Amino acid sequence: MKRNLKKLDELIALLGSIEYKRDVPAKNYTSFRIGGCVSLLAEPKNENELNILIEAAKAMDYPYFVFGNGSNLLVQDEPIDAIFIRLGENYSEYSLNGKALYADAGALLCTVARASVNAGFKGLEWAAGIPGSIGGGIAMNAGAYGGELKDVLKTVRLFKSGEIFEHELDPDEMGYRYSAFSFPNAVILGGSFELLPDDGSASILMEEYSRRRRSKQPIDLPSAGSTFKRPEGHFAAKLIEDAGLKGFRIGNAMISEKHAGFVVNMGGASFADVAMLMDEVQERVFAVFGVQLEPEVKLVTEQSLKSLR
Ligand SMILES: Cc1cc2nc3c(=O)[nH]c(=O)nc-3n(C[C@H](O)[C@H](O)[C@H](O)COP(=O)(O)OP(=O)(O)OC[C@H]3O[C@@H](n4cnc5c(N)ncnc54)[C@H](O)[C@@H]3O)c2cc1C
């Protein structure tokens, strides 16, 4: 693929003093450890930098993608002509004021959850083992063990069409692994949460959930967590296991032997390995059970980013 370097140089000229990296392997920013070079990656430190980055991309008609900790992404192997904008450590403050919690999009969900439990609050104890950011968590309505962010989220700080505003959550705007605020609909800058005083169970539950994750999930291998959403009335992992697919492998991508809901990277897996494996699993599960599995993992390709513009 021919890369448009002239356009990129013109775009960079619009960035002023904003720090960026060129030709960055996306795999260094995803929990799957998969993904080719993106032409430019920037981690804005504030809303002004975010605005400049997005305005520059729009002015140059250059694809861009906003993400967090990369723990729910499968990125193409070929180089991508796009700006990847990461809300991460540079944008990760949080504060607890009694039961009111505010966290910037780049704060890690697990860090914030642990801090809230340690401070004597309940409501995020289920989230301690989820490796995403607050922004990615809100975008995906992350959840586990009967809890989900929607239950405790009160307002979302959003960046949309060049404006920043505080948005009061309407429960219909979030559902199972879905929110109306996920990029490209908006950029989530942070969220305000209302927690409950701990009745003594929060830290016990948090440790119990962490123990369960360690014993049941292949957390020693790169993955993007559950590959497919839970189909109504079923569990994706059980369908995949019952279709005889545990340990099924294409290239270096494999259905985990430990938990059939996870596709794991056995070392050097490519986008194509995982995508083909996912297709095959969908086909076989449909053939055996008549259930259509829907990916939970977000596939990021140059084509998918172009179609967002
Ligand atoms: C080992 C493992 C265990 C996991 N367990 C769970 C689990 O129990 N429950 C669960 O729900 N998930 C789980 N996940 C999946 C993942 O951690 C969650 O989906 C998480 O919320 C993703 O956050 P992220 O910051 O990594 O998002 P990314 O992967 O960076 O992005 C995911 C999506 O959110 C969008 N997005 C990210 N940040 C923003 C933002 N600031 N504004 C707008 N859109 C944004 C991106 O564009 C993308 O579409 C697991 C993953 C792994 C690897």
pLDDT tens digit sequence for 13-47: 999 999 999 999 999 999 999 999 999 999 999 99
* Residue 2's pLDDT band (cuts 50, 70, 90): low
Q: Residue 45: count other Cβ atoms within 10 Å of its Cβ.
A: 14
| 177 carries an active-site annotation | yes
Residue 76: pLDDT above 70?
yes
Atom 3 (ligand 1): residue with closest C-alpha? 225
Q: What is the pTM of this model?
A: 0.97
Ligand 1 centroid from CA 191, angstroms = 15
In this prediction, what percent of the chain has a pLDDT beyond 70? 99
Ligand 1 probe mutation, 33, 67, 228, most atoms within 8 A of CB: 67
Residue 239: pLDDT above 70?
yes
Determine the longest span between alpha carbons in the chain, in angstroms: 60
For residue 110, what pLDDT is reported? Answer: 97
| 296 carries an active-site annotation | yes
Q: Residue 197: count other Cβ atoms within 10 Å of its Cβ.
A: 12
Residue 195: pLDDT above 60?
yes
Mean pLDDT of 157-161: 95
For residue 64, what pLDDT is reported? Answer: 96
For residue 6, what pLDDT is reported? Answer: 87
**Rg for the chain, CA atoms, rounded:** 20
Contact at 8 Å (CB) between 159 and 118?
Answer: no
Atom 52 (ligand 1): residue with closest C-alpha? 225
Ligand 1 probe mutation, 130, 153, 256, 299, most atoms within 8 A of CB: 130
Q: Residue 252: count other Cβ atoms within 10 Å of its Cβ.
A: 16
Residue 1: pLDDT above 60?
no
Residues within a 6 A CB radius of ligand 1: 31, 66-73, 87, 105, 130-133, 135-137, 139-140, 142-144, 182-183, 187-188, 217, 219, 223-225, 298
Catalytic residue among 125, 148, 296, 302: 296
Contacts for 302 with CB less than 8 Å, ≥ 6 apart? 1, 63, 76, 78, 80, 81, 82
Domains in the chain, please, with CATH? 5-89 (3.30.43.10), 91-197 (3.30.465.10), 219-300 (3.90.78.10)
Contact at 8 Å (CB) between 301 and 270?
Answer: no
Helix (H) / strand (E) element for 229: namely: none
As a whole number of Å, the end-to-end CA separation of the chain is 20
pLDDT by residue (tens digit) across 92-126? Answer: 999 999 999 999 999 999 999 999 999 999 999 99
Ligand 1 centroid from CA 98, angstroms = 27
For residue 107, what pLDDT is reported? Answer: 98
Task: Output the average pLDDT for the chain.
Answer: 96
Instruction: Look up residue 213 and give its amino acid.
Output: R
Report how far residue 192's alpha carbon sits from residue 26's, in angstroms, rounded to the nearest whole number. 30
Residue 308: pLDDT above 90?
no
